[in-house]
A and B are shown apart, each in its own frame.
Chain A
Amino acid sequence: MTLTPVVVGAGLLAASGLISLLAPRAGRLGDLVFAALMVAGGLVGSVAAAAALVRGGDADLVVEWLLPWGRIWLHVDALSAVFLLPVFVVPALGAVYAVAYWSSGHNRSARPLRAFYGLLAGAMAFVVLAKDGVFFLVAWEVMALSAFFAVAAEDGKPEVRRAAWVYLVATHVGTLALIAMFALVRRASGRFDLAPLEVAGLSGSLATGIFLLALVGFGVKAGVMPLHVWLPGAHANAPSHVSAVLSGVMLKMGVYGLVRVGWMLPEITAWWGWLLLSLGAGSAVLGIALAIGQHDYKRLLAYSSIENIGVITLGLGAALLGRAAGDPVLTGLALAGVFLHVWNHALFKSLLFLVAGSVLHATGTRRMESLGGLAHTMPWTAALACVGCAAIGAMPPLNGFVSEWLIYRGLLSRAGGAGLGGAGLGGAVGGFNGGFAAAVVVLALTGALAVVAFARLFGTVFLGSGRSEAAPRAHEAPAAMLAPGLVLGAACVAIGLMPLAAVRLLGRAVALAGGGASADALGSGLLAPLSAIGALSAIVLGGAAGATLVLRWWGGAARGARPGTWDCGYARPSSRMQYGESSLAQTAIGLLVWVLAPRRRATPISGAFPRTASLRTRVPDPVLDRAILPAVRRATRLVMSLRRLQRGKVQVYMLYILLVVLVLLLLV
């Protein structure tokens, strides 16, 4: 019953860009038609998905098609509804943003980009809806390919082409793993679909195989380290509204796949959970540490996506451990945290990418080092950035804290204990509570590093004074680019102030993925603290806003003269003397040298009247730049040495044939 509007919404998303191609090449009509169709599809779909979450009830739709094995089998349940919401909300907002940001008038690539953007959004909806394996893979490929073309929108630039190719290779490695996974699923159940598997047909090694292949296939899409290689480049080089969709929504398709496969498997082995937990912990810390090392704010946001996916993966690992141990409290809390973080990350990361797009639009540079003081020229964008940065740093009055708190609370339910006299410390998870405690500490470290990364981002881009001519000449973003951000920011605040309502919405999905007991566990007073958190958040938000106004008035801020910054009495400060992003990061990078291994190129100061001195630092990606690319280069060199055989002379080839025939004669 709820399926028809969802399919209509998904269809509208997929068709919006293609329909808008009919509009005349010049003029804004195409952009407007596209945005209107996307918003319509988004509204219809998100209302239907929300209804599916509130009212429950599964729905199916089966259409036969001509391809072998498969049929179009769509299915919506609470689990799909959780992931459908961001699929419908974020791309629609991004399309509104694109009307001003990537309009046909200014960008030649606007028309094809609209088509691929719409296809990408629609395909993601069908990925979540698909129940049949073959149809799922088709939707998955359409999503992957349209994302490739969307990333490559500015294909005139070599770094864009490179990022797109790396993405294309990586995503197909993932798809390969998924095809293998479906083959194993068929071996276990005799069917190619995403239905729960029976214990009977499933040996231990088969289940492990399915899980590991799913981890590789979906992990590549989600960007779990070390499978994240495509992510930073693609996010940094795509148009910003595409980056918002990639990071906010498409990464979550990988998470969806992992959750779905976890739901399919009837029994969970504990080490799978520990594997996910450790991969998540590693991604979280390394992701945010690498974010601190970036000079390009879009790349920084990309690495922070790896961090957030790490937090989600960590929570997912905890939920699997809870299922393996039959611990509904851990399962319920961890799953609720995972689902809410999926929403939250979709909200604040899309918000930050849209803000990044506005900054890029206004200043033309992605280097933080050339920016500064944008809070004066772009006050609304700065306010939105402040909300996004505080939310992504998991700071309390906003939504990020709520989901991280749920994951913390789940881990703590095992990491704490029953006191010195209590016995029930170990339990079925092999008595390894130290692992949960370590996860708590990792989350705490991640949180502290996130404050470094985002205080640095916000401080260098929006505060202080401009470090180049680009910054003071910036202009506030037009309304079409601000409005989507306002919606996303308002949602961040709303979830922060009403966390209980948001988590209640997730009840059905938790029950589905973690078993009814885990949802019941959430009902039994475990979530009561959320109202206290919401109330305290409201106090902080209201108190801070009120007190700031009082302080302005009390201290006579508006009346006094405005001298320059005191700067310890230095008379001629210049904006280049400010602490820049590299100097801000340097202290932290100094502590993290052993993981980041920054490369530096310096021209030292020499002589009494030094002419030039420079210092460049770069933090390379540990997997792509240090492992894969060198390996590829070495392999290429090896293969190139074979080229010596190829002389282009017929006589030499005749000689080869003669030799081969001789060898064969000798052998046979």
Chain B
Amino acid sequence: MIDLTLHFLVLLLMPPLLLGVIIKTKAFFGGRVGAPVLQPYFDLLKLLRKQMVLSRTTSWMFLAGPVVTLVATLAASLLLPLGERAAPVRFAGDFVLFAYLLALGRFFTVAAALDTGSAFEGMGAAREITFSCLSEPAVFLGLLALARITGSLELSGLLGPKVVDGWIAAAPTMVMLVVGLFVVALAENCRIPFDDPNTHLELTMIHEVMVLDHSGPALGIIEYGAAVKLFLFGAVVVRLAAPVSTGNPLLDWGAFVLAMVLFAALVGVVESGMARLRLTYVPNLLIGAGALTGLGFVLLLMR
């Protein structure tokens, strides 16, 4: 019971913190003090208190989009184990549901963007749905490799205690999976080098440009949903890279939270050290990530 409560608390409260850590890391590399780590929380509270402005072009889809995306992301989060702790809902084949819930979120984000009738948002929508065609196979290849390693078909098992066996017996595969899935995490969450969450207009290539017209609570919901999605992908990468299990629940939770903060810091380091890729190179990087996870899988087949 306590475990479940902690699970939900961490899941619901921690995501904006990751954004705060990323911003702080980037400020550090830029030689600035930067906003407080808790700034994203303040931003969200501020947005929730504002009134929305709705374009006359929009229909019900404009508001349904952010909401469905958030609900689908939260529903997907019920399937994901955090750290060593098993997920509240788990069954063989649950990662398919996980992936398709995120696809549902994508469909509605894109629909809400197209609802504004703005060319900018259409541009972002086209990119979002296209690039996900490349990241989806990469994710599935990675999970299939994990299924072979752990002999399980549920996320709680794929990312469960047997991941350690993978590092012992098939370390090269594990390295490929971690790198491949980290790249996918950056792409799916529209971080540098795929997208720059800090710029605006058409320079911001994918996610931010799709939500240009949302304001107030709707924008808050979008920002929060994006943070939860980053948290989910971070939890996968963290679990693969650092399969810590001490047996003590409190220590495990502490290790998980610490690892997530480190993940966010790593994203910040990547963002500080790299420039955004030219759009035409984005598919290459994603195909590279898919090739990496695929190669990891093939290496397992040859054992």
Determine chain A's interface SS by DSSP, over half rule.
helix
Which residue in A375, A539, A575, A588 is a CB contact (below 8 Å) of B60? A375
Which residues of chain A are within 8 angstroms of B67 by Cβ–Cβ distance? 544, 547-548, 551
Complex CA–CA separation, A557 to B217 (angstroms): 10
Which residues of chain A are within 8 angstroms of B301 by Cβ–Cβ distance? 433-434
Which residue in B61, B134, B297 is a CB contact (below 8 Å) of A375? B61
Q: Given A565-B117, A587-B130 in contact, is the A451-B106 Cβ separation under 8 Å?
A: yes
Q: Does A45 contact B (CB under 8 A)?
A: no
Which residues of chain A are within 8 angstroms of B119 by Cβ–Cβ distance? 567, 577-579
Q: Which segment, of B18-26, B31-39, B163-171, B244-252, faces chain A?
A: B163-171
Chain A nearest CB, measured from B206 CB (Å): 11
Q: Is the pair A447, B54 in contact by a Cβ cutoff of 8 Å?
A: no
Considering only CB atoms, which chain A residue lies closest to B52 in the complex? A555
Q: Mark B109-149, 1 if CB is under 8 A from A, else 0.
A: 01100111111111101110110111011011100100111
Q: Does A556 contact B (CB under 8 A)?
A: yes
Complex CA–CA separation, A394 to B96 (angstroms): 11
Q: Is the pair B114, A567 in contact by a Cβ cutoff of 8 Å?
A: no
Complex CA–CA separation, A87 to B100 (angstroms): 30
Complex CA–CA separation, A451 to B115 (angstroms): 16
Considering only CB atoms, which chain B residue lies closest to A530 in the complex? B91
Chain A nearest CB, measured from B39 CB (Å): 22
Q: Given A455-B129, A554-B217, A591-B130 in contact, is the A464-B115 Cβ separation under 8 Å?
A: yes
Which residue in B55, B147, B152 is a CB contact (below 8 Å) of A565? B55
Complex CA–CA separation, A545 to B91 (angstroms): 26
Chain B nearest CB, measured from A410 CB (Å): 10
* Most chain B Cβ neighbours within 10 Å, of A379, A425, A557, A562: A557
Considering only CB atoms, which chain B residue lies closest to A393 in the complex? B107
Which residues of chain B are within 8 angstroms of A455 by Cβ–Cβ distance? 106-107, 110-111, 114, 125, 129
Which residues of chain B are within 8 angstroms of A160 by Cβ–Cβ distance? none
Chain A nearest CB, measured from B164 CB (Å): 11
Complex CA–CA separation, A425 to B114 (angstroms): 46
Q: Mark A410-450, 1 if CB is under 8 A from B, else 0.
A: 00110111111010010000000110010011001101110
Q: Mark B63-97, 1 if CB is under 8 A from A, else 0.
A: 11011101110110010000000000101111011
Q: Is the pair A579, B125 in contact by a Cβ cutoff of 8 Å?
A: yes
Chain B nearest CB, measured from A510 CB (Å): 18
Q: Given A536-B97, A556-B52, A573-B118 in contact, is the A445-B133 Cβ separation under 8 Å?
A: yes
Q: Is the pair B57, A579 in contact by a Cβ cutoff of 8 Å?
A: no
Chain A nearest CB, measured from B286 CB (Å): 10
Q: Mark B176-196, 1 if CB is under 8 A from A, else 0.
A: 000000000000000000000
Q: Is the pair B217, A551 in contact by a Cβ cutoff of 8 Å?
A: yes
Considering only CB atoms, which chain B residue lies closest to A464 in the complex? B117
Which residues of chain B are within 8 angstroms of A585 by Cβ–Cβ distance? 126
Q: Does B156 contact A (CB under 8 A)?
A: no
Which residues of chain B are within 8 angstroms of A389 by Cβ–Cβ distance? 107
Chain B nearest CB, measured from A539 CB (Å): 6
Chain B nearest CB, measured from A443 CB (Å): 8
Q: Mark A509-542, 1 if CB is under 8 A from B, else 0.
A: 0000000000000000010110011001001100
Which residue in A405, A528, A539 is a CB contact (below 8 Å) of B96? A405
Which residues of chain B are within 8 angstroms of A464 by Cβ–Cβ distance? 57, 114-117, 122
Q: Is the pair B59, A583 in contact by a Cβ cutoff of 8 Å?
A: no
Which residues of chain B are within 8 angstroms of A559 by Cβ–Cβ distance? 51
Q: Does A248 contact B (CB under 8 A)?
A: no
Which residues of chain A are within 8 angstroms of B57 by Cβ–Cβ distance? 373, 464-465, 564-565
Q: Is the pair A416, B137 in contact by a Cβ cutoff of 8 Å?
A: no
Q: Mark A467-502, 1 if CB is under 8 A from B, else 0.
A: 000000000000000000000000000000000000
Which residue in A386, A417, A449, A554 is a CB contact (below 8 Å) of B147? A417
Q: Does A543 contact B (CB under 8 A)?
A: yes
Q: Is the pair A393, B103 in contact by a Cβ cutoff of 8 Å?
A: yes
* Most chain B Cβ neighbours within 10 Å, of A390, A416, A562: A416
Q: Is the pair B59, A412 in contact by a Cβ cutoff of 8 Å?
A: no
Chain B nearest CB, measured from A616 CB (Å): 19
Q: Mark A391-414, 1 if CB is under 8 A from B, else 0.
A: 001111100010011001100110
Q: Is the pair B170, A584 in contact by a Cβ cutoff of 8 Å?
A: no
Q: Is the pair A396, B153 in contact by a Cβ cutoff of 8 Å?
A: no
Complex CA–CA separation, A454 to B218 (angstroms): 24
Q: Does A560 contact B (CB under 8 A)?
A: yes
Q: Is the pair B148, A416 in contact by a Cβ cutoff of 8 Å?
A: yes
Q: Is the pair A584, B52 in contact by a Cβ cutoff of 8 Å?
A: no
Complex CA–CA separation, A444 to B127 (angstroms): 18
Which residues of chain A are within 8 angstroms of B106 by Cβ–Cβ distance? 451, 455
Q: Does A459 contact B (CB under 8 A)?
A: yes
Which residues of chain B are within 8 angstroms of A540 by Cβ–Cβ distance? 68, 71-72, 75, 101, 104
Considering only CB atoms, which chain B residue lies closest to A584 in the complex? B126
Q: Does A360 contact B (CB under 8 A)?
A: no
Q: Is the pair A452, B133 in contact by a Cβ cutoff of 8 Å?
A: yes
Considering only CB atoms, which chain A residue lies closest to B200 in the complex? A568
Q: Is the pair B126, A588 in contact by a Cβ cutoff of 8 Å?
A: yes
Q: Is the pair B56, A564 in contact by a Cβ cutoff of 8 Å?
A: yes
Q: Does A618 contact B (CB under 8 A)?
A: no
Q: Does B212 contact A (CB under 8 A)?
A: yes
Complex CA–CA separation, A544 to B140 (angstroms): 27
Complex CA–CA separation, A434 to B297 (angstroms): 9
Q: Given A412-B147, A445-B136 in contact, is the A420-B166 Cβ separation under 8 Å?
A: yes
Q: Does A247 contact B (CB under 8 A)?
A: no
Q: Is the pair A578, B118 in contact by a Cβ cutoff of 8 Å?
A: yes
Q: Does B53 contact A (CB under 8 A)?
A: yes
Q: Is the pair A396, B100 in contact by a Cβ cutoff of 8 Å?
A: yes
Q: Given A409-B93, A465-B117, A578-B119 in contact, is the A396-B216 Cβ separation under 8 Å?
A: no
Q: Is the pair B75, A452 in contact by a Cβ cutoff of 8 Å?
A: no
Complex CA–CA separation, A452 to B127 (angstroms): 10
Q: Does B221 contact A (CB under 8 A)?
A: yes
Q: Is the pair B136, A529 in contact by a Cβ cutoff of 8 Å?
A: no
Complex CA–CA separation, A394 to B169 (angstroms): 36
Chain B nearest CB, measured from A355 CB (Å): 15
Complex CA–CA separation, A448 to B100 (angstroms): 9
Complex CA–CA separation, A533 to B92 (angstroms): 11
Considering only CB atoms, which chain B residue lies closest to A539 in the complex? B75
Complex CA–CA separation, A456 to B111 (angstroms): 8
Complex CA–CA separation, A454 to B166 (angstroms): 39
Q: Is the pair A565, B169 in contact by a Cβ cutoff of 8 Å?
A: no
Which residues of chain B are within 8 angstroms of A564 by Cβ–Cβ distance? 55-57
Q: Does B208 contact A (CB under 8 A)?
A: no
Chain B nearest CB, measured from A57 CB (Å): 33
Complex CA–CA separation, A449 to B89 (angstroms): 28
Q: Does A322 contact B (CB under 8 A)?
A: no
Q: Mark B191-234, 1 if CB is under 8 A from A, else 0.
A: 00000000001100000000011001110010000000000000
Q: Does A225 contact B (CB under 8 A)?
A: no
Which residues of chain B are within 8 angstroms of A404 by Cβ–Cβ distance? 96, 100
Which residues of chain B are within 8 angstroms of A577 by Cβ–Cβ distance? 119
Interface positions of B (Cβ within 8 A of A): 48, 50-61, 63-64, 66-68, 70-72, 74-75, 78, 89, 91-94, 96-97, 99-101, 103-104, 106-107, 110-111, 114-123, 125-127, 129-130, 132-134, 136-137, 139-141, 144, 147-153, 162, 165-166, 169-170, 201-202, 212-213, 216-218, 221, 283, 297-298, 301, 303
Known: A373-B117, A448-B103, A556-B51. 15 other contacts (CB 8 A): A395-B103, A409-B93, A419-B162, A425-B148, A444-B99, A444-B140, A447-B99, A536-B75, A540-B72, A540-B75, A548-B68, A554-B217, A560-B51, A566-B213, A575-B117
7 CB contacts below 8 A, A to B, read: A413-B153, A455-B106, A536-B89, A539-B71, A560-B53, A578-B117, A579-B126
The 5 closest A-B pairs by CB, nearest first: A579-B122, A419-B151, A459-B114, A529-B91, A464-B117
Interface positions of A (Cβ within 8 A of B): 372-373, 375-376, 379, 382, 386, 389-390, 393-397, 401, 404-405, 408-409, 412-413, 415-420, 422, 425, 433-434, 437, 440-441, 444-445, 447-449, 451-452, 454-456, 458-460, 462-465, 526, 528-529, 532-533, 536, 539-540, 543-544, 547-548, 551-552, 554-557, 559-568, 573, 575, 577-580, 583-588, 591
